[in-house]
Structure 1
Amino acid sequence: MPKHRVLTEFGMGTSLRRQDYTQAAKRALQDALWHNSINMAELYGFPKEAMIIDVEIAVQEPDRVDIVALLDIFPYGQPSVTVHHGGLDIPRPDGKPTVIANAAINVSFMMERA
């Protein structure tokens, strides 16, 4: 059975003063997830555990993101996280940047095309 994407959500998160790339990424994920209450699993007749959740995170320093901490955000489904170079570091007068992370979340199921 092939994998079919049924939903894509986007979000943005920041760490204003601590340069915490993981926190900015968490906030970006929450921004994408908390905007909606979409019951995709129920809509297609699948258990929530069947959701395949592919997460893409973009920050200026990908190595500073704790992927395991991001996985804890998802209460169900099969999440996987990939971190890329992107996002923004905005200079501040004190020399410490404000960190901006971008997130894209794709939800898929293993199913036949209708």
Structure 2
Amino acid sequence: MEKRLFIQTGFGVDVHGQNITKAAKRAVRHAIYHNSMAGIEAMLPGHDLNQMVVNVKLAIPIDKEKLDHDAIKSLIPYGTVTIEIVDGGMLTTSGIFLADKNDVNDLMYIVNASVETGY
């Protein structure tokens, strides 16, 4: 990325089911869905949204290999999207095991996201 224009942060949790992709998608949505980047087209080369470069950095505590990269990329409607995985996030107890929620243990998966947008 030559020039960063925006950095948005968020976090996501999967309370039951221990699905790292679900937690990561929630983190990315939390980072981007409460913002509007009005005027970004004017800042991009050719004033083209598809010239945007988006780096999604995810701090994941466990099951990194199970992350569905395409599911994360599908959340970003324009530009070229890359995903960077770093150690981080958190595991903590949900306090209850619920078999009907597909729990394999009583852990909550917490993922942190930083979404960097530029060109």
Q: TM-score range by the shorter chain?
A: 0.7 to 0.9
TM-score, normalised relative to structure 2: 0.83
Superposed CA RMSD: 1.6
Superposition map of 1:75-90 within 5 A: 75-90=77-92
* Matched residue count: 108
Distance in 2 (CA, whole Å) between partners of 1:43 and 1:34 is 21
Pick from 91, 104, 107: which aligns with 1:97? Answer: 107
Distance in 2 (CA, whole Å) between partners of 1:10 and 1:85 is 16
Task: Give percent identity, aligned residues only.
Answer: 26
The alpha carbon displacement at 1:41 in A equals 2.8
Q: Deviations over 1:5-51 (max 9, x none)?
A: 11100010110111110000000000011010113532415211011
Structure 2 residue aligned with 1:57: 58
Distance in 2 (CA, whole Å) between partners of 1:41 and 1:47 is 9
Indicate if the aligned counterparts of 2:90 and 2:110 stay in contact, CA closer than 8 A: yes
- Gaps (5+ residues) in structure 2? 98-104
TM-score, normalised relative to structure 1: 0.86
Secondary structure of the residue aligned to 1:39 is: coil
Structure 2 residue aligned with 1:5: 4
Distance in 2 (CA, whole Å) between partners of 1:98 and 1:67 is 20
